Structure 1
């Protein structure tokens, strides 16, 4: 049996937390902008910290597992 939980969670978080795809925090002119497809260095840093925090919570603290087969 393969554990697909980490793969699915990491992929979903990567897609959702890519700066500018769904939201960008901080934005160029505002605090938050939605679907602007632009990014900056500080925005990448903030989204990386959010990604690390959420992946840690889902995989280590909660222990999400999805088994196949």
Structure 2
């Protein structure tokens, strides 16, 4: 059986946490900007830290598993 949990969670978080797609933290003019489709080096760093924290939480701490077969 294959465990697809980490793969699905990683792909969903990657899409949702892409800087500028849904939100940008920190924004250019405000702390949070929604849907501006721009990015900066600081936003990439902040989103990478949030991504790592959430992927570690879901995959390691909670242990989400989606099995096939």
TM range (shorter): over 0.9
1:33 has 2:33 as partner: yes
- Normalising by structure 1, report the TM-score: 0.98
1:63 has 2:59 as partner: no
Which residue does the alignment assign to 1:20? Answer: 20
Rounded Cα–Cα distance in structure 1 between residues aligned with 2:11 and 2:17:
10
- Normalising by structure 2, report the TM-score: 0.98
Rounded Cα–Cα distance in structure 1 between residues aligned with 2:25 and 2:59:
24
Which residue does the alignment assign to 1:49? Answer: 49
Rounded Cα–Cα distance in structure 2 between residues aligned with 1:38 and 1:57:
27
Q: Gaps spanning 5+ residues in structure 1: where?
A: none
Rounded Cα–Cα distance in structure 1 between residues aligned with 2:58 and 2:42:
24
Q: Which whole-Å deviations, capped at 9, do the CAs of 1:15-59 have from their partners, x for residues lacking one?
A: 000000010000000000111110000000000000000000000
**Runs of 4+ with >6 A deviation:** none
1:11 has 2:11 as partner: yes
Alignment RMSD, CA only?
A: 0.4
Give the length in aligned residue pairs: 69
